[in-house]
Structure formats: C-alpha cells, structure tokens
Amino acid sequence: MRYDKDELAKHWREHAATLRKYGADHQAAVLEQCASEIESERQRCETGTISLDEAVELTGFSRSHLRRLWRTGKVRQLGTQRNPEFNAADLPKKTGYNAENKTLAGSNTEPVNLRMQVARAVVRGD
C-alpha cells in the first residue's frame, strides 16, 4: 500500500499508539521518530525552489537525469533552460539514497560517485 507523506506519518503514529497501548514503548518511540522525520522532510520540501546542484544532492540522481525530467515536463518547470530550478516536493528520490551520507541502501556504505553515475549514463545512453 502506498501513502503520501502526510498519510504515512499518520499511519506510523497510529501504530505507535497501538504499540504503547500494549507496553511496547521503545518500539512506539521509533515509529514516532520516523513520523517526525517524515513531517520535517515534508516541511523542508515545501519551502520553495532549489537549484540543480541542490536537487542532485537531495535526490541522488545525476544532473543530466534531472535536466531530462525538467525538459520533458515530468517535474514542474521552474527557472530557465540554462538554469533549471525545482520544487523539492516534486522530485523523485533514488531508491535507497541517503542524502546525509550519500550512500545507497545495500551498498557497502561507499559514497555515491557522481562522476561514475554520469559515465554510466553516457555509456547506457540514458
């Protein structure tokens, strides 16, 4: 089942309340922390537009992929062709990408190499 960010935070808070009811305070605290992080991320994303470089950091996608999304209208077109801007809330995120330490889930915590991503995109013709 897919939830938007508001529904997901609410869903986790409801489960936390159930866990607390049965004495699982530590587990409930974890879910409440997750809900808080979702809510704070939503608020951060709604603050306005971000640059292409900020979008790369936030999403884990390459500059060329984000430009393509902008150019094809898959994300709201803000800014100019030369300097596209994005609404952070509109952007997809690379599955498993963690912007804080720039790693992908399942990797051996090696930092994401953006140059390597670009090289792969060129080779594959993305």
Domain boundaries, the chain: 5-45, 49-124
Looking at residue 47, what is its pLDDT? 59
pTM flag (> 0.85): no
Mean pLDDT confidence for 76-101:
79
pLDDT tens per residue, range 8-55: 888 888 999 999 999 989 998 888 888 888 877 776 656 578 888 888
pLDDT at residue 90 is higher than 60: yes
Looking at residue 45, what is its pLDDT? 58
Q: Under 8 Å CB-to-CB from 101, ≥6 apart: which residues?
A: 109, 111
Most confident of 5-9, 50-54, 64-68, 81-85: 64-68
Higher pLDDT, 60 or 113: 60
Looking at residue 5, what is its pLDDT? 64
Percent of the chain clearing pLDDT 70 (strictly above):
72
Rounded-to-integer distance, Cα 86 and Cα 70, Å: 8
Percent of the chain clearing pLDDT 90 (strictly above):
13
CA proximity to 69, closest of 87, 96, 42, 47: 87
Rounded-to-integer distance, Cα 102 and Cα 97, Å: 7
